[in-house]
Structure 1
Amino acid sequence: MWKVAVMIFTVTGLLSGNVLQAAIDKAQPGSKLELPAGEYHGNLRIDKPLILVGPEDQSARIIGDGNGTVITVRSDYVTLKNLTILHSGQEHERVDAAVSAKKLKHLTVDHCRIDDCLFGIDLEQVNESQITRNWIRSKPFSLGLRGDAVRLWYSNDNNVSANHITHSRDMVVWYSHGNTIAHNFGEYSRYSLHFMYAGRNDVRFNTYEHNSVGIFFMYSQDSVAVGNVIKSSIGTTGLGIGLKDCSNFTLRDNTMIYCARGLYIDRSPFQPDQNNSIEYNRIVYNSIGINFHSLSINNYIHHNIFKGNIENVYDDDQVTLHSVKNHWDENYWDDYEGFDKNGDGIGDTPYRLYYYADRMWMSNPNIKFFYASPVISILNFLAKLAPLSEPVMLLEDPHPVMEEQTLEKEGKR
């Protein structure tokens, strides 16, 4: 353990990069540099254990020169706290960022304000680190040209919590395992949270609003998403939570509301001998509650609330329906038409969902304009009254729950 030496700057104006960099270079490993309020030139490099901390109001401002990364870290045990970090370069090829860290562990970036930086915090082969309580915004570019707010690349066992991300591109966790992503808030970005080839990650109590995609897991396994709220993911690509080629997942107690698609399932579970558990989620007021795409069977979909969706379930494959090949049980369906004569809280007859005339817009999106119109309503009524052909069953839930409050209480246990 290093003996901490405290060095305090007295600032009257904008310090040149050489002054602050020289202090960093001269500091003993494990030193603490306290920066008073003021402006400091950036493009700093830290290659030893060091604590760099500003006032609680983040009035110590480290300003890059518009080229490259503002703070480059290449040592274990570095802490950046209470800083405002501004004005990185804008080159994607170089991954110009507010903070860049590579091949290290025990980095802490806490309570920093990051603005006008292409990428926010870029971690490459960084383990056992803390990225907490930061406010992050990219440069004022169009959505696809912004950088990622937080990027984990081959980085394991990190804690990314209580950050506020706005007007960035994505937060990505790629080839990274054992990370905790919790209590973050994300808005006005593309992917709030995007996993690829990642496992054993724990995603809890995040809130994501007004993004194109809430949380998307791809080519991943053995992860948990609990207590997240995804709201207003709209547009052509809009979805709340997506699973693509994912196995052994648990999605529990999440809320997907006002999205184009609440839950999107594509070839998941991927491993034939595994399953995914989807339980106690609130899938409410979306255009489509659950959208099945490609081969997706052996999901256990139990104790969820389906309410206010235009369509509770949709299956892309009009020939081989996969939705019916999953395990549905004890969900609440707002369009269930059965009774509960014995008062046990479970419907006396199974809930069955069919394709009728009013589902035509799902196979022909041009008809969507007429959804809920009198013409479609009459066609749907006639199809149910005297169908010309056998309706197509999408799913059967043998024990539909009568009251959504029952599942709300159970899910909080």
Structure 2
Amino acid sequence: MKFLALAFLLLSVTTLSAKNVLQDAIDRAPEGSILKLPAGVYKGSVVIDKPLSIIGEGEGVIIDGEDKGTVIKVTSSYVTLKNLKIINSGNRHEKVDAAISVSDASQCEISHCTIDDCLFGIDMQMVHNSLIADNYISSKDVALGLRGDGLRLWYSNDNIIRANSLVKSRDMVIWYSHGNEIVDNYGKNNRYSLHFMYAGKNLIKNNKYELNSVGIFFMYSQDSIAIGNVVKSSQGATGMGIGLKDVSNFTIKDNTVLYCAQGIYIDRSPFEPGTHNWIENNKILYNSEAMHFHSLSENNIIKNNIIAGNIEDIVNDSRGSKTNENEIAFNYWDNYEGFDRNNDGIGDTPHKVYQYADQLWMYDSDVKFFYGSPVISLFNFLAKLAPFTKPLFLMEDDKPRVSKIF
């Protein structure tokens, strides 16, 4: 009965208010009501301040922000938005003009929505135990740095972010937010597909990111797991697959990182004394640099990875990063030059990585213009054959695997 009365209400308010039919229906609806919208264009800039569901019936349910402010603002728990197309937010960054803004709420759901031509997509501030699933999100058609974030969690815990597509947005941001599940999402032509800061105990699983500047970047965070993700073709001279900066007790496992300038970037991680990061069972393939170390980075456990097709296996751009003080074993290196005489699958001699003539470009950015050129390749060959400077020892895998299959 409640639904039937509401459906009649939604149709009847058109004669009462030409200003905002949808807002009138929301204001008149009792708590817990379900508004099922028929196809049509509805005026945005609406506020939902009570438990309520708004569900589009079929295709063609459009909520238009008319280029002013945030299209839908939610300030209540137990709100559901489903099967809607939300377009044309305002373009003010300082006001965080978004398709959907949710604040101080829990047990909300936003699913099967299309967001287009909105500066920010979904902005969540202090939102907990909610579901964001199966949405398509795109920002305004402006330069990358001028777009807003497609999805933003701020002090928001224990949410499920599942199967969303962010395309031509800026970032997906998880800041000061803990215990979230980020699963089966897709990102393309963004800046940071996924950026964490001061976040802990999050699960990042089976996401796919391509043609972004950075795939996944973790900063000042701890106790999280990234498993089964695919990051490919991060763009630009410093395009990055997975980055770790000042993070502790992370597990980076079963991921595939390929066609990036930097496969895995490690900066002062692990950060907390007495902790480790586990980098295991990953495929790091066809990158300019498989693993790039910056600043002091020791006590990482790097095991059972496949490292193949990269121009450089290990890069150390800081003389004090102590790359040789990580636990490195049982990885497959396509550059390994040893033998396996007893056929146990483990090389008879350790795989050692040195820096030769490439030290020139490592500490002088002007020389890096020649990176990958025949000149530097020739210098490296000559340096290995008859070193004219002392090579820098980077790391040793004392039990290298000789097969990619394990």
Q: Which residue does 1:33 correspond to in 2?
A: 35
Task: Provide Cα deviations, 1:263-307, integer angstroms capped at 9, x if missing partner.
Answer: 111111010110100000111111111110111110000011111
Q: Which residue does 2:363 correspond to in 1?
A: 363
Identity, % of aligned positions: 57
**How do residues 174-323 of structure 1 correspond to structure 2 at under 5 angstroms?**
174-317=175-318, 319-323=319-323
CA offset at residue 10 of structure 1? 5.1
| Shift in alpha-carbon separation, 1:371–1:220, aligned structure 2, 3 A | closer
SS in 1 for 2:34: strand
Q: Which residue does 2:349 correspond to in 1?
A: 349
What is the total number of aligned residue pairs between the two structures?
Answer: 402
CA offset at residue 369 of structure 1? 4.5
Q: Which residue does 2:161 correspond to in 1?
A: 160
Task: Provide Cα deviations, 1:8-52, integer angstroms capped at 9, x if missing partner.
Answer: 3559x9994522211111111111111111111111111111110
Separation in structure 1 between the aligned mates of residue 201 and residue 247 of structure 2, nearest angstrom: 12
| Shift in alpha-carbon separation, 1:60–1:374, aligned structure 2, 3 A | closer
| Shift in alpha-carbon separation, 1:111–1:366, aligned structure 2, 3 A | same
**How do residues 47-86 of structure 1 correspond to structure 2 at under 5 angstroms?**
47-57=49-59, 59-86=60-87
Q: Equivalent of 2:44, from 42, 45, 58?
A: 42
- Per mean C-alpha deviation after superposition, the further-off stretch among 116-125 and 364-373 is 364-373
Q: Which residue does 2:129 correspond to in 1?
A: 128
SS in 1 for 2:360: helix
Given that 1:17 and 1:40 are in contact with CA atoms closer than 8 Å, whether structure 2 keeps it comes out as: no
Given that 1:117 and 1:138 are in contact with CA atoms closer than 8 Å, whether structure 2 keeps it comes out as: yes
| Shift in alpha-carbon separation, 1:112–1:375, aligned structure 2, 3 A | closer
CA offset at residue 159 of structure 1? 0.6
Given that 1:5 and 1:30 are in contact with CA atoms closer than 8 Å, whether structure 2 keeps it comes out as: no
Residue type of the alignment partner of 2:41: E
Given that 1:87 and 1:116 are in contact with CA atoms closer than 8 Å, whether structure 2 keeps it comes out as: yes
Separation in structure 1 between the aligned mates of residue 375 and residue 306 of structure 2, nearest angstrom: 30
Residue type of the alignment partner of 1:41: K
Separation in structure 1 between the aligned mates of residue 334 and residue 377 of structure 2, nearest angstrom: 18
Q: Which residue does 1:404 correspond to in 2?
A: 404
Which runs of 5 or more residues in structure 2 are unaligned? Answer: none
Residue type of the alignment partner of 1:22: D
Separation in structure 2 between the aligned mates of residue 4 and residue 273 of structure 1, nearest angstrom: 59
Separation in structure 1 between the aligned mates of residue 88 and residue 111 of structure 2, nearest angstrom: 19
Task: Provide Cα deviations, 1:355-378, integer angstroms capped at 9, x if missing partner.
Answer: 122553333344444445554344
Once superposed, what is the RMSD of the aligned Cα atoms?
1.9
| Shift in alpha-carbon separation, 1:4–1:316, aligned structure 2, 3 A | farther
CA offset at residue 394 of structure 1? 0.6
Q: Which residue does 2:22 correspond to in 1?
A: 20
CA offset at residue 55 of structure 1? 2.5
Separation in structure 2 between the aligned mates of residue 233 and residue 378 of structure 1, nearest angstrom: 28
Q: Which residue does 2:325 correspond to in 1?
A: 325
Given that 2:294 and 2:321 are in contact with CA atoms closer than 8 Å, whether structure 1 keeps it comes out as: no
| Shift in alpha-carbon separation, 1:372–1:236, aligned structure 2, 3 A | closer
- Per mean C-alpha deviation after superposition, the further-off stretch among 253-262 and 355-364 is 355-364
Q: Which residue does 1:410 correspond to in 2?
A: none
Task: Provide Cα deviations, 1:327-359, integer angstroms capped at 9, x if missing partner.
Answer: 100001010000111111110100000112255
Task: Provide Cα deviations, 1:189-214, integer angstroms capped at 9, x if missing partner.
Answer: 11101111000010001111111111
Given that 1:304 and 1:331 are in contact with CA atoms closer than 8 Å, whether structure 2 keeps it comes out as: yes
Which runs of 5 or more residues in structure 1 are unaligned? Answer: 407-413
Separation in structure 2 between the aligned mates of residue 241 and residue 179 of structure 1, nearest angstrom: 19
| Shift in alpha-carbon separation, 1:156–1:389, aligned structure 2, 3 A | same
Q: Give TM-score scaled by structure 1 length.
A: 0.93
Given that 1:122 and 1:152 are in contact with CA atoms closer than 8 Å, whether structure 2 keeps it comes out as: yes
Separation in structure 1 between the aligned mates of residue 279 and residue 339 of structure 2, nearest angstrom: 26
Separation in structure 2 between the aligned mates of residue 51 and residue 290 of structure 1, nearest angstrom: 47
SS in 1 for 2:20: helix
| Shift in alpha-carbon separation, 1:383–1:204, aligned structure 2, 3 A | same
Residue type of the alignment partner of 2:347: G
Separation in structure 1 between the aligned mates of residue 68 and residue 334 of structure 2, nearest angstrom: 55
Separation in structure 2 between the aligned mates of residue 45 and residue 373 of structure 1, nearest angstrom: 59
